[in-house]
Amino acid sequence: MRASGNAADDERRIAAAVSDLIRLCERRYAPCYSDFLSENEALMAQRALQTSGCTQYIMWGGYEEAQRVMLCVYPEFCEPEKTEFPLETLSLSFRKSAKLTHRDFLGSLMGTGIRREAIGDIVIAEGAATFFVKSELAPYIRAQIDKVGREGVEFTENGVDLSSIKQSFEESARTVTSPRVDAIVGECTGLSRAKAQQLVRSGLVCVNARQIVDTDHRIEDSDKLSVRGYGKFIIRFDGSLSKKGKYRITVLKYL
């Protein structure tokens, strides 16, 4: 169910994939699961489910705060437990002094030939990372990965307390000339205003999981910003202006 960048095309593609999942469930009379969906794709899927009149579904990504989730459509006689979702939690340990990022882990996973849709959230902490993958791929991943970047890593066998998983952020104070999405994207990515506008118009930017293509869109306090290829951010305004009349913001970048 991977989205392409064009909002209308993405909506149609996700709607078609949801319809296929519903038909498969009706034919098999058993729960059917999607690949991992991004926040934006999950919203599109929910709209498609509502349009179809389907109410027998749940979404789950391995823990309560998951941003990437699987969709399960199921027949009326049953409701699958979250433990039945075909996903597995994998944990890695590494030196606490290593500065490994979400991009490092995603790059290593996809470097094994795995599609992005087979990978859920990747949560980084000091000296540890927890990520979620389709169950069928877990043995392959365990066999393939012993380094992330140049850093040696080791899979841990201990159970993970999913309720304790907290997202880590890199926090920085910035100033921007405008609360417009193109200005904020430019500041977060280090790109020029023109290149930031190109990202927005190309459908590569989401605000609160909704794809934004209007460069005039205004970012509000605590909005979540996702820029494909550059990461995810939370934007906070402190309500004041700098001496040069710029907006003071705090950028929280997901690690």
How does residue 70 score in pLDDT terms, banded at 50, 70 and 90? very high
How does residue 168 score in pLDDT terms, banded at 50, 70 and 90? confident
The answer, yes or no, to whether residue 33 has pLDDT greater than 90, is: yes
Q: What is the CATH number of domain 87-164?
A: 3.30.70.330
- Domain range 7-84, CATH class: alpha beta
Q: pLDDT tens digit string along 85-98?
A: 999 999 999 998 99
Is residue 6 classed as helix, strand or coil in its secondary structure?
Answer: coil
Q: Domain residues of the chain, as ranges?
A: 7-84, 87-164, 169-254
Element (DSSP H or E) covering residue 131: strand 128-134
pTM for the whole structure = 0.74
Q: What is the CATH number of domain 169-254?
A: 3.10.290.10
Q: pLDDT tens digit string along 204-237?
A: 999 988 889 999 999 999 999 999 889 899 999 9
More confident residue, 127 or 200: 200
The Cα 214–Cα 67 span in angstroms is: 24
Q: What is the pLDDT of residue 158?
A: 58
CA 111 remoteness from chain centre: 18
